[in-house]
Amino acid sequence: MTVQSTKPAGRFRSVRNRSRPLGRLRRTGAARWDADFLDGLVDTELEFVRRLPVHLRARPVELLAVLVMLAQDYRYYAQGRINRRELRHRAQRAVDDLDAMRRRLTAPGADAMNYLD
């Protein structure tokens, strides 16, 4: 007596193939969490920026805009519009932009009031 498989031929996937969607769900969930975290950070900082005089708001808003764009990039990754390499590239570009803005603010001889004008 031979034992026959109850699974139809050609439809069985290996364990490795079944784990791929779970890994994708973890990545997209993490990317959405990161985007939500950045949005929360921006919302919190906007409360501070709103209390600043109008002429001092330009640079902080510019910094927050970089974070908003990065959050959007994480959402694009979660939706599958960009791949991991592109997300890494965009995240590095955002960090570089933030670092350049910080260096302009803290450069020797750079007065904070002159920077914000």
What is the model's pLDDT at position 70?
A: 96
Calpha distance 41→59 (Å, rounded): 16
Calpha distance 24→31 (Å, rounded): 10
Give yes or no for a contact between 51 and 71, defined as CB atoms under 8 angstroms apart. Answer: no
Calpha distance 88→47 (Å, rounded): 29
Give yes or no for a contact between 31 and 78, defined as CB atoms under 8 angstroms apart. Answer: yes
Q: Given a cut of 90, is residue 107 above it in pLDDT?
A: no
Calpha distance 98→91 (Å, rounded): 11
What is the model's pLDDT at position 68?
A: 96
What is the model's pLDDT at position 96?
A: 96
Q: Where are the domains of the chain?
A: 17-116
What is the model's pLDDT at position 115?
A: 47
pLDDT in tens, 11-58: 544 444 444 555 566 778 899 999 999 999 999 999 999 999 999 998
The average pLDDT across 51-77 equals 94
Q: What is the mean pLDDT of the chain?
A: 80
More confident of the two residues 107 and 42: 42
What is the model's pLDDT at position 26?
A: 72
